[in-house]
Structure 1
């Protein structure tokens, strides 16, 4: 089964409009500096009119800004649904037709968690990192002239396997905008959050602490041959796992690794277990080689693996890349489990093709 059978990769009209507005506004805004000529010589006074084009930079920032505001609202509304118990089980803002509706993760509703979510927006680390992400998003748009990579325009030069063995579940992420991990910032546009679920869809065995989650301490593998360009360890795994965010976090990604696989193709692994990273900058890794273990470090509400591929080694200014995996995908409502090169989507289970 290919993922396109249940989630066709068909960018929406809204996405096309956002990209088009950003691109045109960028090009028109670049005409603004011509106004400088009008201040050099009076004979060139007519060029002062060009300064009005600076206003188009506002339109360049508005589309991603609206997406960011909508994401903020959805997050707040999700917390409200969790606290009032109107969401699906332990998930947030999941409707019965959502492909993730069968997943039950370890979120326990609490009014204090609502206050925590609001406090996160003024948390020093998150606020500062958020500014960096916004600035990096601007750079990413500029680097691509407003034309960010999309499934129908990007073709990877690398064959990627899932960064794990056995069967994992896609909690968040898809090349489709509707189910994207985060459409803004651009580097996380095609990111994934992976967990392990049991037959009931639960991500934990009912015990306490991080050890009760099936994915915690599971090995994480390099998805393709490459060279490690960054490896950061030393961040603690938060002891709370039921939706609380670590107030002492100082890196959103927690313990993370970045690997270069090809020119402009870098994989990014976040929230790894403290002390588990077994590679360092400059190391050459082979496809399927261990790089660390799944953890609960950084900005994480429960143990999981965050994974994405971007086009730059610097995390903040990269643009996310839509990639296909050499894997078998499935969904509880479907029976097929065919191994193939495919996009993967939230709600699916993913198994590495052990015969590659």
Structure 2
């Protein structure tokens, strides 16, 4: 199956996590159309996801507002039509501490039983005009959605803000392409991104890429949007 080409759904620098360049399925499962999904966490020019580290970082949860990604604009990764727009899920506390991550991991089965909103949180799905694939933006900030079902969007158009809703341990945006807008039956489709600069995890020199999948742990920044 040929990958579909998208634009990165943000401006500025973000670090890549759970990349399909590292493994497939990228998140360890095919469930909910996630086979080729990829995560991006906002960082500053020093590669930090949050400028503050204190006792909460090591022992308990932290407010999502502490993280650089929280509230950053999320852009449409493709031109097309909005087919799903779900809002109203809470942005919960973030977790970097292993002490806070263990009980959260143990609650995964319970979240699955509660259904799609407990996993995806606030999310949008756009039917890509060019490929017909369905592209999801997941874990959006509560109350931030700027589009509704039936709206036409252009690649690079602001559509929401990054949040920490659903199955998310710290603010980030999860992107995936699928063959159906129904997450309960969707199968993942490979994707790649156009026109971005990538700083490898090891090595200081960035390189510009016309198309590709960012490597695990690399920092990326779009060269152009839309």
1:230: how far off?
Answer: 0.3
Contact persistence 1:226–1:285 (CA under 8 A): yes
Residue 49 of structure 2, aligned match among 196, 203, 206: 203
Matched, 1:328 2:174: no
Structure 1: state its 5+ residue gaps: 1-152
TM-score by length of 1: 0.52
Structure 2 distance, partners of 1:241, 1:355, is 31
Matched, 1:225 2:79: yes
RMSD: 2.5
Contact persistence 1:196–1:203 (CA under 8 A): yes
Contact persistence 1:210–1:241 (CA under 8 A): no
Contact persistence 2:24–2:35 (CA under 8 A): no
Structure 1 distance, partners of 2:225, 2:89, is 35
Structure-1 residue corresponding to 2:143: 275
Structure 2 distance, partners of 1:261, 1:275, is 24
Structure-2 residue corresponding to 1:58: none
1:280: how far off?
Answer: 0.6
The within-5 A match list for 1:26-37 is none
Matched, 1:177 2:44: no
1:333: how far off?
Answer: 2.2
Structure-2 residue corresponding to 1:260: 127
Structure 1 stretch displaced more, 289-298 or 206-215: 206-215
Structure 1 distance, partners of 2:222, 2:214, is 12
How many residues were matched structurally? 202
Structure-1 residue corresponding to 2:177: 309
| Structure 2 counterpart SS, 1:216 | coil
1:237: how far off?
Answer: 0.6
Structure-2 residue corresponding to 1:212: 66
Structure 1 distance, partners of 2:41, 2:71, is 12
Structure-2 residue corresponding to 1:235: 89
1:241: how far off?
Answer: 3.4
Structure that is richer in helix per residue: 1
Contact persistence 2:156–2:225 (CA under 8 A): no
Structure-1 residue corresponding to 2:59: none
1:256: how far off?
Answer: 0.5
Structure 1 distance, partners of 2:80, 2:225, is 21
Structure 1 distance, partners of 2:164, 2:13, is 19
* Residues 39-63 of structure 1: per-residue CA shift (max 9 Å, x gap): xxxxxxxxxxxxxxxxxxxxxxxxx
Q: Using CA pairs below 8 Å that are at least 6 residues apart, which structure has the higher relative contact order?
A: 2
1:260: how far off?
Answer: 0.3
TM-score by length of 2: 0.80
Structure that is richer in strand per residue: 2
Structure 2 distance, partners of 1:266, 1:281, is 13
| Structure 1 counterpart SS, 2:65 | helix
| Structure 2 counterpart SS, 1:211 | helix
Structure 1 distance, partners of 2:68, 2:25, is 24
Contact persistence 1:175–1:322 (CA under 8 A): no
Residue 35 of structure 2, aligned match among 185, 189, 212: 189
| Structure 2 counterpart SS, 1:315 | coil
Structure 2 distance, partners of 1:239, 1:328, is 31
1:311: how far off?
Answer: 1.3
